[in-house]
Amino acid sequence: MSVAFASSSRLAVRTVELRDRRPLLSHLPAAAPLCWLRGGDGLVAWGEAARAELPAEGDPRGGRRFSEAARLLRDLFADAEVDDAVGLPGTGPVAFASFTFDARSNGSVLVVPSVVAGRRDGHTWLTTIGGRGPGSHPEALTAPGAPLRPVGPLTWGPGSLSAEEWCGAVGAAVDRIRGGGLDKAVLARDAFADAERAVDPRTLLGRLAAAHPECYTFAVDGLVGATPELLLRREGDRVESLVLAGTRRRGATREEDAALAEDLLASDKDGEEHRYAVESLRAALGPLATEVAASPEPELLRLANVQHLASPASAELRPGVSTLDAVAALHPTAAVGGTPTAEAVELIRELEGMDRGRYAGPVGWIDAQGRGEWAIALRCAQVSGSRARLFAGCGIVAGSDPQAELAEADSKFRVMAEALTDR
């Protein structure tokens, strides 16, 4: 694999603090926005100072797209001329990236934007990357973009498999698991929504951020979503993660909600699925870290539409381990692939009837010090012009019921379906 940035000129990078306290999303233009927000803090960006597309790999266990991305960024950032007056994670040169779920799929992308607006710990800043610019005042570079466009009427269409066909795939996976070939596989569905004109990604981002402030609202190269699944956060040598596996919908009343939560916490099937996910993280990070700690028992994470079993975890990375080394080691987690990983990924490829692309792959940002945040691209859609392709997946174990898994997938589609729907 030999990859180079589309722009390889030496970068001039300048970060200044801003007085502007408007919501970060208000700065974005409509064309190809980049975004990473949670609770109003994070980064939004636009333009391309450098871009690289990482090709598919022949080996399903391949991780070269991650190591190649790390090499490209290391070389580019090492040669950059940087003036950073703020000095927080996410200041100075920053890259956004989104990787495919399967190493054999094309589509992994790495973008160093031209302009980044960020907010953290009460500070707001602006970073310009590339040339010296026209000499405009920094505040002028974050002037409000064009008005947001409503999505308009939608035509909904089936995905790669019908509901009946997908239930058949779930049944086949259960049979394979019961036969002893593997312990768990995560099967996903897709669906299509077609609008009458190009969808404005900023409209979706605003709706997602407002409805799901506890999630990570993201946009990279048309992949837009709001995911609760923190894969990795790094500052210094310490990394944090949040393992999610096991799901119930939210109840219509307080009593129903509590009953669903109790059922989730008591469920052998969901507990088994969650244990596989925690063990997967321990096994992946163990060779890269001096210690890996995770909660002994899962807690309940309640989101707007669903509730999950959740286990916070942390690790201290060994010297010389890069952020993307850790991301590569963790992907795919048992929460989006299965257990054992290699067998589960092959079963997914056999039964899903589609290429996931970047759905369920790592998405996030990284700065020149290796600091950054990475999530799993869930609750998302690939937006291309007037078409949105939605994704949702479920963990399948020996006790899974196809109709129950179909209902769970439908509840996960709802996040993006509501973001696409005008009110």
Domain boundaries in the chain?
12-420
Instruction: Return the bridge partners of 317, or none.
Output: 289
Burial (0-12, 13-18, 19+ Cβ within 10 Å), 74: middle
HSE value, Cβ hemisphere, 13 Å, CA-based, for 290: 7
CA distance 281 to 276: 9
pTM of the model: 0.91
CB 137 within 8 A of CB 195: no
CA distances from 57 to 1, 102, 103, 293, 341 (A): 8, 9, 5, 32, 17
Which entry of 184, 273, 343, 408 is annotated as an active-site residue? 184
Radius of gyration of the chain (CA): 21
What string of DSSP letters covers 262-282?
A: HHHHH-HHHHHHHHHHHHHHH
Q: What are 335-359's pLDDT values in tens digits? A: 899 989 899 999 999 999 999 999 9
Q: What are 277-291's pLDDT values in tens digits? A: 888 889 889 999 988
Q: Which two tokens stand for residue 151?
A: 């999505």
Residue 229 annotated among the catalytic residues of the structure:
yes
The predicted pLDDT at position 422 comes to 96
Instruction: Return the bridge partners of 53, or none.
Output: 109
The predicted pLDDT at position 135 comes to 42
CA distance 280 to 330: 8
Q: Which two tokens stand for residue 357?
A: 């692309």
The predicted pLDDT at position 132 comes to 45
The residue whose two tokens read 């956004």 is 96
Instruction: Return the bridge partners of 253, or none.
Output: none
CB 136 within 8 A of CB 81: no
Q: Which residues contact 30 (CB under 8 A, 6 or more apart)?
A: 145, 146, 149, 200, 201, 202
The predicted pLDDT at position 61 comes to 74
- Say which DSSP state 304 is in: S
The predicted pLDDT at position 31 comes to 86
**DSSP element (H, E) containing 240:** strand 238-249
Collect the ranges in the chain with pLDDT lower than 70.
Answer: 1-4, 6-8, 131-145
Which entry of 57, 68, 229, 373 is annotated as an active-site residue? 229
Q: Return the axis-axis angle of helices 268-285 and 323-330, rounded to nearest 10°.
A: 140
Q: Which residues contact 262 (CB under 8 A, 6 or more apart)?
A: none
The predicted pLDDT at position 133 comes to 45
CA distance 305 to 315: 30
* Assigned CATH for 12-420: 3.60.120.10
The CA-based angle 294-310-360, given to 5 degrees, is: 100
Residue 412 annotated among the catalytic residues of the structure:
no
